[in-house]
Amino acid sequence: MAKKKFTFIDLFAGCGGLSEGFLQTGRFEALAHVEWEMPMVNTLRNRLVQKWNHSEQEAKERVVCFDIQKTDELINGGWSDESKRQYGVDNADLVQTKGLKGIVEGEELDLIIGGPPCQAYSIAGRAQDPNSMQFDYRNYLFESFVKVVDAFKPKAFVFENVPGLLSACPGGIPVKNRIFDAFEAIGYNIRTPEKLKDSVYCAEDYETPQKRNRIIIVGTRNGGTLDIEEIYASLTQRKASKITTVKDAIGEMPKFKPLDVAQKIDGKNVSHVVIGENPFSLNEARYHSKRDIEVFRKWLAKDMNHASTEARLSFYTQITGKKSNHIKYRNLEWDKPSPTVVAHLYKDGLMFIHPDQNQLRSITIREAACLQSFPLDFMFLGSTAYCFKMIGNAVPVAFARNIAFAITDVLDKKI
């Protein structure tokens, strides 16, 4: 007998890493995904058509391109003329007129999942902002998440974010306290602010070739049969016995070699060419200047990853004649998980130097996707910069899949 499928809405869906993990379990059906950047919207819609058997019309209706800060319009429809001008060309009539409630109408909703943009909570982001992100609107995007939960009353929700959320304090009030109070006010249980530190998990423990710490806030509806501690216990029990390494993820990918002299091919500057066959999409080596290639050569030859902080800072000064308080280069290591894959990759790949000393390059879009545990057939639609950005911002698929299974373990027993 087939097991029951559960339903979810994905908020701040991005290109769909979290949704993909839940769908891969075979136990979930997505009723709607909400995202406002068109390359991510197009990527997710394409995935629903190519992999998950949706028609193009279904994908267009279910992936809602809309600014979640206009939460009431998102939920109920009846969009203003301004919103219709901004979003109406893209979205189906059903979405425009009825909002999320029109899409979900007649369906029981089990779960809401999502992760608001994390830059305002990121410790690195706060360090670089003169006001420590105190006035960044993204501090309060969780309120939109709360409003959607309140409108649909799912059995549970999953809220994913960076551990920096635990120390963020805009307006002098800790965000973790704001979040606890907001969910308590609408009748949902989450761990207390003091206990939320126990909700930090690392993706490397869940079949992901990457050290990526994230806080997973699970909430359950008051008076329901679900217990948040059972879900957390299930997630902890699902930790893998073996770590997945960079070599496991990209060790068999095609190799590239640097050219003696860069060329212009099809109007693009090319510094590396593939050796042999390259059957994978978005797997082209990034253009690197002669200086960058020499930097990579020296960095890898001297094993600078394991040098002192002072030596690595000095390396940058020797190369550029400039001083920096931040280390500018880093290579991946074959026998370890990758460091956290970040959206900054859209600017450069200097902190993601390929570990092969013969290739002298940074990682490709496809390799970044592999480190985020996206399947090889997952297509990313958009410019090179947008592809790196959406991959860096995504929830690793394998991590998401394990979160989903942890929830079904409990749902199957309780419902």
pLDDT digits (tens, 9 = 90+) for 253-300: 999 999 999 999 999 999 999 999 999 999 999 999 999 999 999 999
The whole-number pLDDT of residue 123 equals 46
Mean pLDDT of 326-352: 97
pLDDT for residue 89 = 53
pLDDT tens-digit map of 128-164: 544 444 434 445 789 999 999 999 999 999 999 999 9
Model confidence at 350: pLDDT above 50:
yes
- What pLDDT is attached to residue 171? 79
Strands (E), 173-326: 188-189, 200-202, 213-221, 255-265, 268-275
Lowest mean pLDDT among 82-86, 112-116, 244-248: 82-86
pLDDT digits (tens, 9 = 90+) for 216-226: 999 999 999 99
pLDDT 10s digits, 227-246? 999 999 999 999 999 999 99
Tell me what the pLDDT averaged over the chain comes to: 92
In the chain, residues under CATH classification 3.40.50.150 are: 6-241+395-414
> Which pLDDT does position 29 carry in this prediction?
97
- Given this model, what pLDDT does residue 98 score? 85
For residue 172, the model assigns a pLDDT of 87
In this prediction, residue 116 has a pLDDT band, given cuts at 50, 70 and 90, of confident
- CATH fold, domain 6-241+395-414, is Rossmann fold (3.40.50)
Yes or no: say if 44 and 35 are a contact pair by the CB < 8 Å rule: yes
**Rounded percentage of the chain residues whose pLDDT exceeds 90:** 82
Mean pLDDT of 366-384: 98
**pLDDT (0 to 100) of residue 140:** 75
Question: What are phi and psi for residue 28, nearest 5 degrees?
Answer: -130, 150
pLDDT for the residue numbered 124:
54
Is the pLDDT assigned to residue 3 strictly greater than 90?
no
pLDDT digits (tens, 9 = 90+) for 4-48: 899 999 999 999 999 999 999 999 999 999 999 999 999 999 999
What pLDDT score was predicted for residue 1?
Answer: 61
Sign of CA dihedral 345, 348, 351, 355: positive
pLDDT higher than threshold 90 for residue 54 = yes
Instruction: Say if CB 137 and CB 59 are below 8 A apart.
Output: no
- Model confidence, pTM: 0.94
Per DSSP, the residues of 376-414 read TT----S-HHHHHHHHHHSPPHHHHHHHHHHHHHHHHHH
| CA 120 from centroid of its chain's CA atoms | 15
Q: Which of 70-74, 177-181, 304-308 shows the lowest per-residue confidence on average (mean pLDDT)?
A: 70-74
For residues 82-89, average pLDDT: 66
168 Cβ contact partners less than 8 Å away, ≥ 6 residues apart: 120, 121, 126, 133, 139, 174, 175, 176
Query: Which CA distances in Å does 210 have to 23, 118, 139, 244, 267?
Result: 21, 18, 26, 8, 34
Q: What is the pLDDT of residue 120?
A: 53
Q: What is the pLDDT of residues 354-365, one digit of tens each?
A: 999 999 999 999
Q: How far apart are CA 30 and CA 111, in angstroms?
A: 10
